[in-house]
Amino acid sequence: MHITTPGAGRRRRTALAAAVGALLAGTVLASPARAAATATTCGMREGITMRDSVGNVFGRALYCDNLPSDVYARAAFDAPVTGWLVLSPSWFTCYTNGPKDTQGNTVWYYTQGDQVGEMPRIKAWGTVPAEVVQVPAGAAHPYPADLPRCPWY
């Protein structure tokens, strides 16, 4: 049972408004140094062990900021959706090639989504087009150049 005291809703709304106001003020007043500190996160992590739902094992991964996206069972926009990337940053274990995304990239990255989609046994593992992965400005896909190609493609 949830008990609310009189005026509690107003206090929560006031606290929320204050928090949103502080956040907006921080965004508007952010200095160039602060903006640089919030640049894209993207780099390799070594010495880790990840196992996908079909038994592939990966010992390194690219951790990058990303856009929300469907995760596809194979590198194709008409493939079943195995899950969704909703959080950022995410990790990407290897790459393959597939159809061009809206930016003309043919690279697709293998990852595990944050939410499970149409194929629950796959546990949201699949590929996303390169435009989803926020690599450093001017960097080419696949990023980095030594990211392994997925072994099954």
Residue 56, both tokens:
């592939």
> Is 99:118 a contact under the CB 8 Å cutoff?
no
Tell me, yes or no, whether 67 and 23 share the same domain: no
Per-residue three-class SS string for 88-112: CCEEECEEEECCCCCCCCCEEEEEE
Q: Are residues 21 and 47 in the same domain?
A: no
pTM (whole model) above 0.85: no
Dist. CA 104–CA 146, nearest whole Å: 21
Q: How many domains does the chain have?
A: 2
Q: What are the tens digits of pLDDT across the range 85-129?
A: 999 999 999 999 999 999 999 999 999 999 999 899 999 999 999
Same domain for 49 and 69, yes or no, is yes
Residue 74, domain member (yes or no): yes
Inside any domain, residue 138: no
From 1-5, 43-47, 58-62, 80-84, the region with the lowest mean pLDDT: 1-5
